Structure 1
Amino acid sequence: MVSIGAVARRVRAYGGQFLLLATLTLVTTLVISGVPRIVNGHAQEGLRTHLDAVPPQQRDVTYSTGPLVPTSEGGSPVAARQGDLATVEAGMPPVVRRMVERRWFTAETRPSRVVGPDLAAKNLLVDLGLRAVPGMEEAGTLVEGRWPADAPKGQPVQVALASRVARELNLRVGSRLTLAAPGPVSPAAPPRAPVHVVGLFEPRDDSDGIWDGLPPLLRIGEPPWDGDPFIAVGVVDAGALNRQAVAGWPLAFSWRYRLGADGIDIRELDQVIDGLQQMTREAAGRDIVQGLDIPLRQFSAEVDSARTVLGVIAAGVLATLAGLVVLAAGLLVRRRRAEFTLLRARGGARTTSAGRSLAEALLVVPPAAVLGWLVGGLVPGAPGETRWYALAAAVLVAAALPVATLAASTGGGRRDLVRARPSARRLTVEAGLLVLAGLAVVLLRRRGLTPGEVDPLLVSVPVLLAVAAALVAMRVYPWPLRLVSRLAARARGSVAFLGTARAGRSVVAVPLVVVVLAIATAAFCAVTAAAIEASRDRAASRVVPADALILGERIAADTGAELERLPGVRAASPVLREAGQRLAKDAIGTETRLGGVTVLMVDGPALARMAREADVDMTVPAALLAPAGGTGPLPAVVSPTVAAELADAGLTGSAFVSAQGQRYEFRVAERAESFPLLRADSARFVVLPWQALPRRDYAAVPTGFLVAGDDLDAEALRRAGDAGQSRFQTGGTVAGREPPRGVEVLTYADTRRQVGEGGANGVLAFGFTAGAAGGTALGLLAIAFTVLAGARERGQVLSRLRTLGLSRRQWRGLLLVELAPLVGVSVLTGALVGTALPLLLNPVLGLSAFTDGVQVRVAFEPGLVAAVVALGALALGFAVAVEALNNRRMRLGEVLRLGEEN
């Protein structure tokens, strides 16, 4: 029988060691329980931010019907269809239904030709639709007149218009119109209906989703071509639509639902996407339009990539914690070796000591594991399915102590002075681990992985590489130390000789592996984070390769001079970008039958100068630096797809492309996968040097300007750009009919911030921060364990040396010399492994999801060298401090008297 009281007394006697084991257990289950909650919390917040940035209309799910001719049955077709608003919502998958924030029902006629004296006065061609939307009176404010009502039979249809629409169409309260029936209609239907404008309204909130139907209520639809009508929509009473439907006019109905992030659980993201696809397949005879699955898929890809990276970090942290548990168990067994040896001497079996250790572990580990799980449960965020992982971790920690007891050697001797030759079995195991690590990397890169899943091969690769590197370091680093020790033996003084001799004979297999694991995890986080940040810089510079970019339609050429007169602006350079341009064989436009291309014109020398001044990471191709006044085809930078097509057509040396109605001859001078100012997925483009353009009767007009400067005022740049657009619009022979839309101003700083914010970046930032901090802290803890594991042997040696006259200063120097090789090799090996991991795993981690599609390139970071040196110095100082504190606690004289090996 095992006495609980005896077990409790032994636990109390070795309280410090058991407290350490319990703390590691608590931390392990806390990490397993709490970290998924933190990750889910960051992902949930990132999803909310991501969806808030999505245009509200893209979050709408709209069911609609085409124009339906009413049946001969009586009643109210509008009211009957309005009742389907709840029915359609009830048919949605539950995960989607929980996301519905608002809902709208619409009944309307298709726009048809409307005429009247007020329209004729302005010679306006207009199509008018009639729409009934419940809740319109609460969403709008009457400016004049009243809301429409259901007029008696034979009376005109009463309609209300948005005040802006009425003003642009020259309509007012009291305007009389005649609306043609939207065809086709039944033969008995009246071909026309009189319409009376009874009210004008303004929206209380123009961002209210009730106004987002198409065609819009608050503005007129511009005609796409000359001779086409304007499109307008008026508000009518539902009863008026019922009357028109009974008369034979067809009605169209729509049920629109706005989805929000509050009703979605990040753990159900895939189910939401599948639910939206299911709704598309099961529309029950209605047309359905939704665009939310696109941003959701984008965010899901980011979360999956983040979880893949977190899997690598978690593997390193948990493996380090496992190593620390092994070190703690070994330290406890080492301190109790005399007790276990005495049990064997009294006739006890080896399992007796292991059983005693198991009973003690069961008294300490389960409560600590439960406490860690409960504390982790207090972390805000949705829990993950990690219960079984925590249980497995607790079982392994509880088994570590009895296993260490069984494996402990009961023999005596001065092990620190014995150079043990590794056995053939151990060398075989170590060689097998090296081969296994190499095979795992090759298999992972060839096979790839499924992002977002816990891939056993992926999580094992960092651990295997760290273990393999630690084994190599463990076998290699004693050799130079022994050489240094021989050289030190010939020199004066004993500190260097004794320190290097002891360091070269140290048995540090497990401690070295644990430290390498911890430092490798921290270095992996630091290197990968730096690579992502550098790639985000490149992503921002691809959009804005200067300090600011102004984009519009056509901007007067003298706007560049106006911009340069603004405060803080040093230079401005024109840009022209046109999509969908055709390639031609000659100047008269002979068709090449090749696809359309995007034409980009930039001033090459100015672009290079701005990139340098703005410290933007980009190199302007030499072809775009061609001088002005050249003859022959323009040197062009083209995409590989276009270059291949031109080569197949025999047009590499001379081809023509249109831009703003002018054809320019060019030749393929260079190829580029991508180019700044173009979309990341643009595969068909031609880039021409603006400064080398030939003279034409109609010079190229900029569609934008690159701006270099300091402390730029975005609003001032916008005003200058708008003024330039207006000057071009009104400065020609024929003035534009409508003022152009305002220009868009993008600054590099804002673009860089947008690339690094939102989405799953919070998850990734947490993973890198926690991994770097946790790896560093656990590495220091592993070094402390390493120091404590050999503290008694070193204490005995130092006690003897102190009696032989070793001074306190020499004693500290001896500690430094003995511990420096182990600490330095551990930190350096861990840093090298952590730097190699991103290079090896980059193709399978999917990190481009966080860099706006830009490929992440892992490069050497000079700051890493300084960080490794600083971490090594910190670790060495920490090790010496732990040793000094331990020696002060044990008192070296008593170590010499009480040491069993004395």
Structure 2
Amino acid sequence: MTRRLIRKETRGDLPLLACLAALVLALTALCAWAPAFAGGQEDRALRQRVDAAQSQAPLISLSTTPEVFNTQPPAVDMATLLGAGRTLTKQLGGEATRHVAFNGGGSYDYDQASLLSPRPPGPANTGTQLTVSYLPSARAHLRYVSGHAPADRTPLATAPQIGLSQTIARALGVRVGSRLTLEFAKTPGVQNAPPQAQLLVSGVYRTTASTDGFWTGRETLDQPSRHPQERSAGTVLAVRGLVGLDAADLLAGAGVGGPRVTWQLRADLSGAALDRARALTGPLSHYSADLSAALCQGVDPITNDIACQVGGQTTGPLLLTDFLTPMLATFTAQDQQARSLATFAVDALAAVTLATTAVAVRLLLRRRQAHLRLQRARGASTARLVLLRCAVAWPVVLTAALLGWAAGQALAPTGTSGSPQPVPAALATTVVALTVPLMTWLAVREQRRPGRLRRSRRKTVVGRRLVLELTVLLAAAAGVVALRSQGPDGILGAVPVLVALAVVLLLLRIYPLVLRLVLRQARRGRGTVGFVGAARAAHDAPATGLALFVLVLTLGTAVFGGLVHRTIDDGLTTGAAWTTGADASATVSGTAGSAGTTAPGATTTGIRTAVQRLRILDLAGQADGAAIPHVAVVTVDPRQLAAVAPKSPLAEALLSGLAGSRADASTPLPSYLSPDLRTREHTDGFVTTVVTPGRPPVDLALKPVGTLTAAQLDDPLLGPVTAQLPAGTPLLITTADADRLLPQQPSGSTVLLLKGDTPAGTEPAALRSAAARELGPSARIRVRSETLDTLRADGLTRGLGTIYTVTSILAALTGLLALALELTLTSDERSRTTSFLRTLGLGGREAGALHFLQLLPLAVASAAGGTLLGLLEPRLMAGTLDLRQFTGGPAQPALRTDYSLTLALVAGVTALILTAAATETVLARRRRLGAVLRLT
């Protein structure tokens, strides 16, 4: 074997070697580029979630209580203590230290103190509880309308300053310059009487609307809340005010125990977000233990708690609050589902590419068949011929693999959590390289002479084929069962390929039978074109198996991807509607307020509103007295709901069952129950005890008038309410007239639904303005259009769509190449038949019709098999396709086939095959008589 011989063989095989090189180059380039690209999409999605969560509340925080009574007189240096929080991140160690940042200067909060003077106006207020807080981050979200903000450095012998909101100042009956006398809880073992202190009202502020969710959970800084006083009639007024930095120092001098100090840490997930989060959550799991080991030694003699040293200040134990780790666990589950869906597309592309490789090698060997026979006749061994083919193909394959890997690395984004995968690239290259010697050996090996054993050998071949087909069918069935039982993983991602192979095997068994039936009908006719075309198509059916497999798998994957994309897109619309409830929604804590006081169906600046108030009550069976704790009771005006959502099944049911009723303590309130609560209602409904300040307790009866169906429970109108409830919470809906009978709760919530009257929808700014005007600037406002845009911009969803688009395009191009090679491989047989018939007088039109008839069954079988595969796979994997991870809706979105895409794909495949038939017809017409006679 000489270099001259290898070069000569290479020049002869150059077109097909170029096909092999293109396939290997594409596979290795994808192995280098796709993981880095997918990692970038994962990083983007995780950053979106973390940034959105951190804008609402800190994900990582540390808290402790300084020891005030370890000096004489009692003292605390709050400025030094809060500043020392920056050193606490050093205990994370390693790379994790660089992934978190100290957010702000820290804050502190005292426990509720009793307001002794002045007494708030109103006979119903029997007591007032004031919470004192230092929250420097609030300064950017409020505006002082009188006075000034509390000073951080108060002159000596001056009372600490405090700022109050307009609503709270009005409720307390104070103004700028008023003095508040507070009584704090005593410290056990140190004080015999509760300490008292005075605070000076330095300013009154107004909260400003915030789009970053700052006021979520901090509504008490703007609105007071009321709750019944324990063991006596009356109402306790709970309020909160802001103080300056040194208020803790002055209160410590007055004998008030230390406040709860909190430092907030912000996770920095720029760049490779997923890798950074994983590197951070590991140290976070033992961060609290590391802090205790480094900063806490000994026991405080007063409280008998562990004593720690932070910035030279003695404190209690350091407590860590970590919400980042659970968020990463949730994201990991979503990411795993996205990877599983992407694996199906990637595996299908790999299978199509390898099948195209086999077709290319098969065509190469067919073109060299005469040459190989001649070499074999001259004494060349099987091993020599195999080695010669390898010497020609392997350098091309290796060079293409190296070029593809280099191109993929050059195109791959840097700084992501994904990295190029050399092992799959090497494996793909090896499989392509080994295909050449394997198929060469099968083509040039010495065949046994048939002799008398021809019939028995034919039976053996048929038996082997049956065994092979049964093995594939059983493997596909076992893979589907395993996929449905244990979910997708790296190995089970190839199950769709097995299912596609099973579909192709069934088609290869079925459509020759169909062609034979057509052949019987054609035999009875007078024309020969239909008979010959059906006969040739039936004869060529087994030979076109690889082309059929490539077309079916390519079309099936594209249909599957279109189905997933359509299902997710429709699910995003449902998820956005479920999150917001209407065009927009606003939520505030507490069930007090005057929102929704307009008449039902009335409009305010072209916007309709409906109010839902959520309370958590303990109910009891009216007949048997069985206690049912923690029932979610929602009060709503059904006419308002019907005005907001006229086509809603929930609004229609409530309008028929609750409208027209009047709430009275002596009349049972009509109610709709969730199914789980209905099973616990035996007869006569429920009762609950209503405690109204200044009045004796009243037992209020609730009469069930209907049970909420699954469709009504999944109605978007309930989305903002049920999102606040743990799974499995019993739900009861009653009329809004019950609000004057049911107690107000600071732990409940009020939800305002808004809908614009214009058909095109109301601008988000107008919806936000209307919501803030109704519920105040501390309301958490969600607009459906903005929520939908956020869901569609999610990194996981967009990344999954990009992967399916790229793999579908590459699979289509590869399938086109495979089809062209397969038709080239079988064109000689079709051309020979056509040429023979032309010598017998067949016309040009009939010859063209014959070409179409020979390839039409392949087009029909490919279209039917690919469509069946694309529609069948999602149903087979329905238990593993949890698309709620991407939509945010309450339930698994219904699978929706993209019929327009399916029809376009089927039409494209059919047109492609028929175009090939037309091309063959044109080439056949250009042949002269001599060429025709040579082919015959």
Shorter chain as denominator, the TM-score bin is: 0.7 to 0.9
Q: Map residues 522-537 of structure 1 onto 2, 5 A cutoff.
A: 522-537=558-573
Q: Matched residues in 2 for 1:190 and 1:625: separation?
A: 57
Which residue, 258, 270, 274 being the options, matches 1:262?
Answer: 270
Q: Matched residues in 2 for 1:741 and 1:141: separation?
A: 15
SS of the aligned residue for 2:332 comes to: helix
* Residue of structure 2 equivalent to 1:436: 475
Over 3 Å counting, the alpha-carbon distance change for 1:183 and 1:479 in structure 2 is same
| Alignment partner of 1:844 is 2:880 | yes
Q: Matched residues in 2 for 1:871 and 1:700: separation?
A: 66
Which residue, 761, 769, 783 being the options, matches 1:712?
Answer: 761
Over 3 Å counting, the alpha-carbon distance change for 1:524 and 1:392 in structure 2 is same
Between 860-869 and 157-166, the greater mean CA deviation after superposition: 157-166
The one-letter amino acid paired with 2:15 is G
| Alignment partner of 1:683 is 2:723 | no
Identity %: 25
* Residue of structure 1 equivalent to 2:703: 665
The one-letter amino acid paired with 2:239 is F
Which residue, 366, 369, 380 being the options, matches 2:398?
Answer: 366
Q: Matched residues in 1 for 2:642 and 2:877: separation?
A: 34
Over 3 Å counting, the alpha-carbon distance change for 1:88 and 1:634 in structure 2 is closer
Q: Matched residues in 2 for 1:93 and 1:127: separation?
A: 40
Over 3 Å counting, the alpha-carbon distance change for 1:887 and 1:260 in structure 2 is farther
CA deviation after TM superposition for structure 1 residue 459, in Å: 1.6
CA deviation after TM superposition for structure 1 residue 328, in Å: 1.2
* Residue of structure 2 equivalent to 1:520: 556
Between 589-598 and 169-178, the greater mean CA deviation after superposition: 169-178
Q: Map residues 750-829 of structure 1 onto 2, 5 A cutoff.
A: 750=786, 752-758=788-794, 760-829=796-865
Q: Matched residues in 1 for 2:94 and 2:929: separation?
A: 74
| Alignment partner of 1:866 is 2:903 | yes
| Alignment partner of 1:644 is 2:665 | no
Q: Map residues 692-731 of structure 1 onto 2, 5 A cutoff.
A: 704=752, 707=755, 709=757, 710-713=759-762
* Residue of structure 1 equivalent to 2:37: 38
| Alignment partner of 1:406 is 2:436 | no
Q: Matched residues in 2 for 1:200 and 1:110: separation?
A: 20
| Alignment partner of 1:342 is 2:344 | no
CA deviation after TM superposition for structure 1 residue 104, in Å: 3.7
CA deviation after TM superposition for structure 1 residue 754, in Å: 4.7
Over 3 Å counting, the alpha-carbon distance change for 1:202 and 1:442 in structure 2 is closer
* Residue of structure 2 equivalent to 1:380: 413
Unaligned runs of 5+ in 2: 229-234, 293-316, 448-457, 691-698, 745-749
* Residue of structure 2 equivalent to 1:23: 22
TM-score, normalisation: structure 1: 0.79
Is the contact made by 2:600 and 2:639 (CA closer than 8 Å) also made in structure 1? no
Q: Map residues 118-137 of structure 1 onto 2, 5 A cutoff.
A: 127=130, 129=132, 131=134
CA deviation after TM superposition for structure 1 residue 665, in Å: 1.2
Is the contact made by 2:658 and 2:670 (CA closer than 8 Å) also made in structure 1? no
* Residue of structure 1 equivalent to 2:747: none
Is the contact made by 2:33 and 2:420 (CA closer than 8 Å) also made in structure 1? no
Once the two structures are superposed, what CA deviation does each residue of 1:515-565 show, in whole Å capped at 9, x if it has no partner?
A: 2222221121122323333444444454567666677865446433322x8
C-alpha root-mean-square deviation of aligned residues, in Å?
Answer: 5.1
SS of the aligned residue for 1:254 comes to: strand
SS of the aligned residue for 1:103 comes to: strand
Is the contact made by 1:433 and 1:468 (CA closer than 8 Å) also made in structure 2? yes
Is the contact made by 2:112 and 2:132 (CA closer than 8 Å) also made in structure 1? yes
Q: Matched residues in 1 for 2:582 and 2:237: separation?
A: 42
SS of the aligned residue for 2:530 comes to: helix
* Residue of structure 2 equivalent to 1:88: 88
Q: Matched residues in 1 for 2:734 and 2:216: separation?
A: 44
Is the contact made by 1:70 and 1:248 (CA closer than 8 Å) also made in structure 2? no
Over 3 Å counting, the alpha-carbon distance change for 1:321 and 1:666 in structure 2 is same
Between 391-400 and 85-94, the greater mean CA deviation after superposition: 85-94
* Residue of structure 2 equivalent to 1:880: 917
SS of the aligned residue for 2:321 comes to: strand
Q: Map residues 183-198 of structure 1 onto 2, 5 A cutoff.
A: 183-184=186-187
The one-letter amino acid paired with 1:258 is R
Once the two structures are superposed, what CA deviation does each residue of 1:287-309 show, in whole Å capped at 9, x if it has no partner?
A: 12233334333322221110111
CA deviation after TM superposition for structure 1 residue 766, in Å: 1.9
Is the contact made by 2:610 and 2:752 (CA closer than 8 Å) also made in structure 1? yes
Q: Matched residues in 2 for 1:218 and 1:630: separation?
A: 37
* Residue of structure 2 equivalent to 1:352: 384
| Alignment partner of 1:424 is 2:451 | no
Q: Map residues 598-637 of structure 1 onto 2, 5 A cutoff.
A: 598-600=632-634, 625=656
Over 3 Å counting, the alpha-carbon distance change for 1:202 and 1:657 in structure 2 is closer
SS of the aligned residue for 1:455 comes to: coil
Over 3 Å counting, the alpha-carbon distance change for 1:217 and 1:89 in structure 2 is farther
TM-score, normalisation: structure 2: 0.77
Which residue, 483, 491, 503 being the options, matches 2:517?
Answer: 483
SS of the aligned residue for 2:372 comes to: helix
Between 161-170 and 253-262, the greater mean CA deviation after superposition: 161-170
The one-letter amino acid paired with 2:362 is G
The one-letter amino acid paired with 1:664 is L
CA deviation after TM superposition for structure 1 residue 145, in Å: 7.7
* Residue of structure 1 equivalent to 2:49: 50
Which residue, 230, 235, 239 being the options, matches 2:239?
Answer: 230
Once the two structures are superposed, what CA deviation does each residue of 1:567-623 show, in whole Å capped at 9, x if it has no partner?
A: 5x7xx695645342444434xx98430233334567889979987x77x8x698979
CA deviation after TM superposition for structure 1 residue 23, in Å: 0.2
The one-letter amino acid paired with 2:679 is A
Is the contact made by 2:150 and 2:243 (CA closer than 8 Å) also made in structure 1? no
Q: Matched residues in 2 for 1:629 and 1:163: separation?
A: 40
* Residue of structure 2 equivalent to 1:592: 626
CA deviation after TM superposition for structure 1 residue 215, in Å: 8.3
Over 3 Å counting, the alpha-carbon distance change for 1:374 and 1:49 in structure 2 is same
Which residue, 284, 302, 312 being the options, matches 2:344?
Answer: 312
Once the two structures are superposed, what CA deviation does each residue of 1:601-652 show, in whole Å capped at 9, x if it has no partner?
A: 67889979987x77x8x69897975697899999975433223323xxx33x
Is the contact made by 1:546 and 1:748 (CA closer than 8 Å) also made in structure 2? yes
CA deviation after TM superposition for structure 1 residue 268, in Å: 5.1
Q: Matched residues in 2 for 1:697 and 1:70: separation?
A: 48
CA deviation after TM superposition for structure 1 residue 52, in Å: 2.8
* Residue of structure 1 equivalent to 2:306: none
SS of the aligned residue for 1:561 comes to: coil
Q: Map residues 525-604 of structure 1 onto 2, 5 A cutoff.
A: 525-542=561-578, 555-556=595-596, 558-563=598-603, 576-586=612-622, 591-600=625-634
Q: Matched residues in 2 for 1:621 and 1:199: separation?
A: 50
CA deviation after TM superposition for structure 1 residue 73, in Å: 9.8
Over 3 Å counting, the alpha-carbon distance change for 1:596 and 1:106 in structure 2 is closer
The one-letter amino acid paired with 1:155 is A
CA deviation after TM superposition for structure 1 residue 18, in Å: 0.6
Over 3 Å counting, the alpha-carbon distance change for 1:57 and 1:193 in structure 2 is same
| Alignment partner of 1:331 is 2:363 | yes
Unaligned runs of 5+ in 1: 413-419, 726-738
SS of the aligned residue for 2:400 comes to: helix
| Alignment partner of 1:99 is 2:99 | yes
Once the two structures are superposed, what CA deviation does each residue of 1:19-39 show, in whole Å capped at 9, x if it has no partner?
A: 110000011112222222221
Once the two structures are superposed, what CA deviation does each residue of 1:210-229 show, in whole Å capped at 9, x if it has no partner?
A: x9999899768756664445
Which residue, 496, 505, 529 being the options, matches 2:539?
Answer: 505
CA deviation after TM superposition for structure 1 residue 839, in Å: 0.4
Over 3 Å counting, the alpha-carbon distance change for 1:212 and 1:102 in structure 2 is farther
Over 3 Å counting, the alpha-carbon distance change for 1:115 and 1:57 in structure 2 is same
CA deviation after TM superposition for structure 1 residue 324, in Å: 1.0
SS of the aligned residue for 2:614 comes to: strand
CA deviation after TM superposition for structure 1 residue 92, in Å: 2.0
| Alignment partner of 1:474 is 2:508 | yes
CA deviation after TM superposition for structure 1 residue 843, in Å: 0.4
Once the two structures are superposed, what CA deviation does each residue of 1:162-188 show, in whole Å capped at 9, x if it has no partner?
A: 897997788888777777677429569
* Residue of structure 2 equivalent to 1:13: 12
Between 636-645 and 370-379, the greater mean CA deviation after superposition: 636-645
Q: Matched residues in 2 for 1:656 and 1:5: separation?
A: 97
